[in-house]
């Protein structure tokens, strides 16, 4: 890794070299030291006023669905099928009670729970260890918070995912 001490010294003096905006090593440091530790604004509640409304947001390399579920609760979940990692929502915004993976048709409610595993009535070698209907699409690993004063939706993705 390159020694960035001179760049950091320039930034502290208020001089930001143009090349740092495209520096892959500095970006890797930002991902590790900034984005993995900070809450990131992803939406405003007014963007999803009705049950079923959603918006899709990207944070670094990850895509998230920010949705108001059928109970009116604001949720954030990975935009990813647990089966093969395909995006389950391809539109940037809309209203849906379910999200379906286009690859094999796994279906998730707008609260993140799996509701359908087509062609899998009994466990097979291919699905052994797969989530069962009612399992979440990683919402427990995304922290979403709405603030009372401004109705902002924030997420935080830790640098190391919990193992439970």
Identity of the highest mean pLDDT range in 20-24, 25-29, 52-56: 52-56
The answer on pLDDT for 137 being more than 60 is: no
In this prediction, residue 125 carries a pLDDT of 42
Structure token pair of residue 152: 């902002």
Q: Which is nearest to 81 in space by CA: 53, 55, 112, 50?
A: 112
Burial of 152 (0-12, 13-18, 19+ CB in 10 A): middle
What lies within 8 Å, CB to CB, of 42 at 6+ separation is: 57, 59, 64, 66, 76, 153, 154, 155
Q: How many CB atoms lie within 10 A of CB 57?
A: 20
Cα gap 80→64, rounded to integer Å: 8
pLDDT, tens digit, 9 for 90 and up, residues 32-85: 888 877 888 889 989 999 999 999 999 888 899 999 999 998 888 889 888 888
* Domain boundaries, given as residue ranges, for the chain: 4-34, 41-156
In this prediction, residue 91 carries a pLDDT of 96
Cα gap 53→39, rounded to integer Å: 22
Q: Which fold has domain 41-156?
A: Rieske Iron-sulfur Protein (2.102.10)
The answer on pLDDT for 29 being more than 60 is: yes
Q: What's the predicted TM-score (pTM) here?
A: 0.75
pLDDT, tens digit, 9 for 90 and up, residues 99-133: 999 988 888 899 888 888 787 665 444 444 455 55
């Amino acid at each position: 890794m390159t020694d960035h001490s001179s760049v950091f010294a320039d930034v502290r003096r208020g001089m930001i070299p143009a090349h740092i905006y495209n520096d892959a090593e500095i970006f890797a440091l930002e991902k590790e030291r900034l984005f993995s530790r900070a809450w990131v604004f992803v939406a405003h509640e007014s963007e999803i006023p009705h049950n079923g409304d959603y918006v899709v947001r990207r944070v670094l390399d990850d895509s998230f669905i920010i949705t108001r579920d059928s109970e009116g609760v604001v949720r954030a979940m990975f935009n990813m099928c647990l089966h093969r990692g395909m995006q389950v929502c391809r539109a940037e915004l809309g209203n849906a009670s379910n999200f379906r993976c286009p690859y094999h048709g796994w279906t998730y409610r707008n609260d993140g729970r799996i509701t359908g595993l087509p062609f899998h009535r009994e466990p097979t070698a291919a699905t052994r260890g797969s989530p069962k209907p009612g399992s979440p699409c990683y919402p427990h690993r995304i922290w979403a918070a709405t603030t009372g004063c401004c109705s902002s939706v924030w997420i935080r993705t830790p640098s190391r995912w919990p193992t439970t």
